[in-house]
Amino acid sequence: MKRHQSILELMEKENYVSVQQLCDFFKVSAVTIRKDLKLLESKGLLFRTHGGATINDPYINDRHVSEKEKFNVKEKEAIATEAVKLISPNDSIIIASGTTMQTFAKALRIEETLNITTSSLNVSLELAKSPYYKILQLGGNIRHNSSSVTGYYSDVVLENISCHLLFLGVDGIDIDYGCSTTSLEEATLNKKMITSAQKVIVLADSSKFNKKGFGKICNLSDIHQIITDSKISNTLADKIRSRGIQLTIA
């Protein structure tokens, strides 16, 4: 059917389309569009999500940090460069775990005192190269896939500190579901980080959008700013901004 081909062509451009978008575009009912999407999904051509569909599998498989750091390297570097601009001398910040956080740590070249709390072993090792940074390494159970810590001891420390900025890495960002990661324990720790920070900034390359992980971290309403790369679709960028979130495209 011609409409089915047009739906797939739209999705190739946007990566994600909502049922309402398709209704408006084709001038048909939501019932008709949902039937179209169900049929296309049965053929393995797309994945249905709440309120729409995507060409990529929205559910994320857990991968080791050594594997993930090879993906989207240039995009992560551009995101890190933008994120560094938000930091002032003598700031107190939290840096979560993930390969984008490692890239961010490498990009920090501020020769002034910074108070930095992190759950990531790799981030701490990178930051320790500078004599200017006061690093608080959270303790707890080591999660091997992410080279980071989770658990009770990290939670206790976070309950007793207050920081200006939280730089948060995620495995998935979904407009309705929110921000998520593949680990429930890490999601729980990230929630604690959010309560300890005045401003929450998500650093995520465009491949993370329209994806869901097992552990939900927060709703989009809990996020103040997202920094991503230029491959994000205009439609999705507009949706994020319409939620009152500052979106920076590196």
DSSP conformational letter for 208: G
- pLDDT tens digits, 217-244: 999 999 999 999 999 988 899 999 999 9
- Percentage with pLDDT > 90 across the chain: 61
Question: What pLDDT does residue 186 have?
Answer: 92
Domain ranges within the chain, ordered by starting residue: 2-54, 65-249
Q: Which residues are CB-contacts of 125 (< 8 A; sequence separation ≥ 6)?
A: none
Does residue 249 have a pLDDT over 70?
Answer: yes
Fold of 65-249: Rossmann fold (3.40.50)
Residues paired with 47 in a beta bridge: 54
- Average pLDDT of the chain, as a whole number: 89
- So what's the pLDDT on residue 76? 94
- State residue 64's pLDDT score: 53
C-beta neighbour count of 110 within 10 angstroms = 16
Is the pLDDT at 136 greater than 90? The verdict is yes
Q: Do the domains spanning 2-54 and 65-249 agree at the CATH topology level?
A: no
Task: Please report the pLDDT score of residue 68 as a whole number.
Answer: 53
What's the pLDDT at 189? Answer: 95
Q: Is a pLDDT exceeding 60 seen at residue 89?
A: yes
Q: Using the structure block, give the residue that is written with the tokens 């409409």.
A: 3
At residue 65, the pLDDT reads: 54
Who has greater pLDDT, 54 or 66? 54
- Fold (topology level) of 2-54: Arc Repressor Mutant, subunit A (1.10.10)
Q: Which pairs with CB-CB distance under 8 Å and at least 24 residues apart come from 40-45?
A: 40/4, 40/7, 40/8, 45/8
Q: For the segment 164-220, what is each residue's pLDDT rounded down to a tens digit?
A: 999 999 999 998 899 999 888 999 999 999 999 999 999 999 989 988 888 999 999
- pLDDT > 70? residue 158: yes
Tokens 């599998």 belong to residue: 57
Which residues sit opposite 8 in a β-bridge? Answer: none
* pLDDT value of residue 233: 87
Tally of CB atoms within 10 A around 157: 18
Tokens of 234: 């205009």
Q: How far is CA 153 from CA 40, 142, 188, in A?
A: 48, 12, 13
